[in-house]
Amino acid sequence: MSLRVLNPNAEVLNKSAALHMNINAAKGLQDVLKTNLGPKGTIKMLVGGAGDIKITKDGNTLLKEMQIQNPTAIMIARTAVAQDDISGDGTTSTVIFIGELMKQSERYIDEGMHPRVLVDGFEIAKRATLQFLEKFKTPVVMGNEPDKEILKMVARTTLRTKLYEALADQLTDIVVNAVLCIRKPEEPIDLFMVEIMHMRHKFDVDTRLVEGLVLDHGSRHPDMKRRTENCYILTCNVSLEYEKSEINAGFFYSNAEQREAMVAAERRSVDERVQNIIDLKNKVCAGNDNNFVVINQKGIDPPSLHLLQQAGIVALRRAKRRNMERLVLACGGEAVNSVDDLTPDCLGWAGLVYEHVLGEEKYTFVENVKNPLSCTILIKGPNDHTIAQIKDAVRDGLRAVKNTIEDEAVVLGAGAFEVAARQYLVNEVKKTVQGRAQLGVEAFADALLVVPKTLADNSGLDTQDVIIGLTGEHDRGNVVGLNHHTGEPLDPQMEGIFDNYSVKRQIINSGPVIASQLLLVDEVIRAGRNMRKPN
């Protein structure tokens, strides 16, 4: 081998060893994630070396927490994480689908088949499956008034795989209402406009949707009001902090008085800016008992805070950049970058602004707003683990609702699609394929069944019985999924179990690509460390 001449330290794995290394890695990763899948999956508690605990049922989170060393496994993991980035769900499904494709291929390769032929079959099967998906999907009309029921069903399907049923059902409404709140006609949905805030306080069932905004900081002046009603909101990005000017910052002074005078002059320009805000307050609040709240992206130093407090204004500094956008969407008005010509038009409105303190953490609630286009999901829980799991679930739920609105379609869940696609491939597509590529199609079709199989397995059911029952129903023309309680077939349409169309399409698309690449590897060269031994 020529490489040996170039680098005597290089390690070369030949064809079958390379292939088996890849297959084993894929199977290994599949084994880790497989138990996660579905509403009967296992939640995983990870205890780190320092004794810190992470609890997760989310494939994406789990992958990121794992210290994966094997290069093949890393490749699969990256694909799965990318899946999550693109469509927001389906990490676990991607990993187990790739693993199953490799597993099915192994059978044929061990019988002497060339991987190239299998890969050709995969390609045909993939295209056929995608076409089938187009026919199989259930279109949903998303006009100006989206069908809330179907959105709820999709969200519920996702959430129930992450949280226990009662909590999942409670969050379903929250998630759907949150997305509908920020949705603007003719514009893509920006999920960042849903703020997700968490408080370590009370119980998981106290999680709620706040129409308005919750900020994770409070005013920094002891005498500012903690609770105000009927508030004008000024959203601004103006420094109210004394800072030396940038250019020619040298102070030239010859005695202490001069220095004081220069400092005072610098200070004055800050005070003028504060005064502009106070003037506006006096203008709009004259003759009524409305209040005035300033939320600033830049800093506000104690002298400025004091002036504002004296004028009866509540002021918050260093707001998150994204909150500037959210505030305007929630309260109205506009975010100003200069206080030189303020008009009442810049101001937003909120019925209630109040502060909540937990230890050193302060939260400011901006509520009772008119026509909000931004909102906050406030997650509560007694500990960080609970909060983290609800957060994962909420994230997935939001993505699921968004996908549904954008796809204008859903796919029947509970394994119904996979079984239907498999029957289609085996009964119809396979016959049209010439030669040995048929076997590739068959391997692909069988690999699809991994989803219902794993669902059954995780529910403690007999996999063979379930698959036979499901395929039998499909052959009779009934589209059914798996009832994970009984193992009997069920009608996903009736039960309201729907998956995202785009998630499914993405899995069908990316799974075979990676599997094919891994199968076609016939030599692994590593000119560095030894890859057989862990180091």
Partner 1 sequence: MREIVTIQVGGFANFIGSHFWNFQDEMLGLAADQTADSVFKAQNLNMDVLYRTGETQQGTLTYTPRLLSVDFHGSLGSMSSLGTLYNDGFSAPADVITWTGNVSTHASEPRKKNLFLQSLYQEENSINGGKDDSLNQIPQKDIVDCLDKDVHCWTDFSKVHFHPQSLYELNGLWMDIQEFDNYGIGRDVFSENLRGEEICDRLRFFVEECDHIQGFQFMVDDSGGFSAIAADFLENIADEYTNTPALLYTVRGSGSHLNLRSRKQKVVRDLHDAVSFSRLASFSKMIVPIGLPFLSESKVSSFLHIEDEKPYHCSAVYAAALHSASLPFRMEMPGPTADSSEICGAIDVNGIVQMLAGQARQNMVAILDVTMPAPGLTGTEDQQSLLGNLQSLTPEVVEDAEDLQVVESLIVQGAFTEGDHRASVSEVKNAVQAAYERATTRPMFCHLSTALCPLPIPLPFPSIFGNLIGQQGELLGSPILGSQSRGSLDVHSIPMAARLRSSSAVLPFLENRLENLRKFGINRGAPGTELLRSWGFGKDELEDFGETLSKMVMTLKPDFERSSDSD
Catalytic residues: 58, 91-92, 396
- 8 Å CB contact between 468 and 478: no
Amino acid at 195: E
Closer to partner 1 by Cβ: residue 78 or 148? 78
Distance of CA 278 to the CA centre of its chain: 41
Alpha carbon dihedral 406, 408, 412, 415, in 10-degree steps, equals -30
Residue 67: CB minimum distance to partner 1, A = 7
Residue 66: CB minimum distance to partner 1, A = 8
Closer to partner 1 by Cβ: residue 141 or 357? 357
Closer to partner 1 by Cβ: residue 384 or 491? 384
Return the structure tokens found at 239: 């420094």
SS3 339: coil
Beta strands in 89-193, from DSSP E residues, in sequence order: 138-139
Closer to partner 1 by Cβ: residue 249 or 494? 249
Alpha helices (H) in 160-237, listed in sequence order:
165-182
- 8 Å CB contact between 187 and 315: no
Closer to partner 1 by Cβ: residue 208 or 220? 220
Q: Find residue 361's DSSP bridge partners.
A: 358
Distance of CA 535 to the CA centre of its chain: 34
- 8 Å CB contact between 512 and 122: yes
SS3 labels along 352-383: EEEEEEECCEEEEEEECCCCCCCEEEEEEECC
Residue 204: CB minimum distance to partner 1, A = 6
SS3 56: strand
Residue 263: CB minimum distance to partner 1, A = 10
Q: At what angle do helices 91-110 and 15-34 cross, to 10 degrees?
A: 140
Residue 72: CB minimum distance to partner 1, A = 12
Q: How far is residue 338's CA from residue 361's CA, in Å, rounded to a whole number? A: 30
Closer to partner 1 by Cβ: residue 7 or 16? 7
Residue 390: CB minimum distance to partner 1, A = 6
- 8 Å CB contact between 348 and 233: yes
Interacting residue ranges for partner 1, rule: CB under 8 A: 35, 39-53, 55, 57, 63-65, 67-69, 74, 77-78, 81, 85, 162-165, 167, 200, 204, 216-217, 220, 239, 241-244, 246, 249-250, 256, 259-260, 299, 301-302, 317-318, 320-321, 358-361, 381-386, 389-390, 393
**Count of other CB atoms within 10 angstroms of residue 524:** 18
